[in-house]
Amino acid sequence: MQGLVERLDWEGLGIVKLGNREIHVPFTAPGDVVEIKRWRRKKRTLIATEYEIVEHSEIRGKPVCPYFGTCGGCLLQHLPYDEQVKFKSDKLSEILGMEVDVIPSPEIYGHRNRIDVVISTGGIGFRRRGTWWDVVNIEGCPVFGDASRRVLSSLREFIEDHKPSLYEIGKNKGFLRYIVIREGKFTGELMVNLVTGQGSLSEDFPAYFDYADSIYWSVNRTPSDVSYGEVERFWKNEFIRERLDDVVYLIHPNSFFQTNSYQAVNLVKEVEKAVEGERVLDLYSGVGTFGVYLAKRDFKVEGIEINPFAVEMANRNAELNNVDAIFRVGEDKDVENLANYDTVILDPPRAGLHPKLIRKILKDEPQTIVYVSCNPRTLKLNLDKLLSKYSIESAVGLDMFPHTPHVEVVVKLKFKV
């Protein structure tokens, strides 16, 4: 059956109407004519699994990555970048019910500072689109940059020389599992973290990556298919560093950091612009990305984070930058009165704010809230409740994730007097 892609859904899939059905087709653009042969149902959505583009849209561009269309990492690389930004602006505007401009990423290739590459019997690379069991074998990743090609070449050389067993996905077998590559885009520092199952690693492993600034071996002792584990050993530097504007952050294999360093500079600046007053509470403070940056600008910052290791990293970052900021382990309910702060920064996980925190905000009535979200849908659900006492003063999107449908947004809320 043949049909025209009329528009993209908010997940970046093209929508084709066939009779009473709407079929969602990956890797398509508005204006494409598609021959759909098979589809599957995912919850209430029909997703094409076998299809052919018989006529290309005029807006379609040429993807840079040779793996585009099979790799599950990038979904929108076939769209010119200005079309991607427009798509994200339209998405935010419709979901939030207001016009929201999106700041484009300063770089759209070589921008990503972390990739997690699976090392499996089926290939070394990323999951094939729509699967967890199949891997697209890659030589390098253009959104990460040239270092990915060098690291993966060294990894293959190590495997060729030592013949370790590789991950059998779904069976929890095999020694080598993942290689996680991280790079400070503004410092040039490179980290390689090999994640394995239990076993012994050849002593000469670090020699294959002697160009890296930090080399780790981590062990996943659980049956879970994850790209992290307990640190078994490291060579050279314990951390690499990244710089956002005039602030330096330490990066550890088990710490989270914004994955687009170039756009993260704009993100921290947008948060700073939205902050009012002097006393700032940074909830979900992580490694201190916002808190340390603001403390460098003489705000009095207190950060609360549930992850003890992230708190340790945040305090290290505060010390490294010689700023007075206090980060402690805790939950949002541990704050006695949110109204004691001039501004409260909220940067929750994708699930959004816990209902108890929303109730506490509405009870305590802090004057200014800066809400940073990577999930516009949960943001909208939270705003629907908060707007009973707050009004939106500003909202701006930031494209942290070029070539994907994802977008970050910073919303400033003011208490209604």
User: Mind telling me the catalytic residues?
Assistant: 374, 408
Residue 223, classified by CB atoms within 10 Å of its CB into exposed (0-12), middle (13-18) or buried (19+), is exposed
Whether residue 374 contacts residue 385, with contact meaning beta carbons closer than 8 Å, is answered with no
Radius of gyration of the chain (CA): 23
Count the Cβ atoms, other than its own, within 10 Å of residue 212.
Answer: 25
- Asked whether the CA dihedral 202, 136, 258, 153 is positive or negative, the reply is positive
Count the Cβ atoms, other than its own, within 10 Å of residue 199.
Answer: 11
Pull the structure tokens for residue 176: 């080598």
Which uninterrupted H or E stretch holds 287? none
Residues in the chain: 417
How many Å apart are CA 168 and CA 173, to the nearest integer?
A: 5
Residue 380, classified by CB atoms within 10 Å of its CB into exposed (0-12), middle (13-18) or buried (19+), is middle
3-state secondary structure of 252: coil
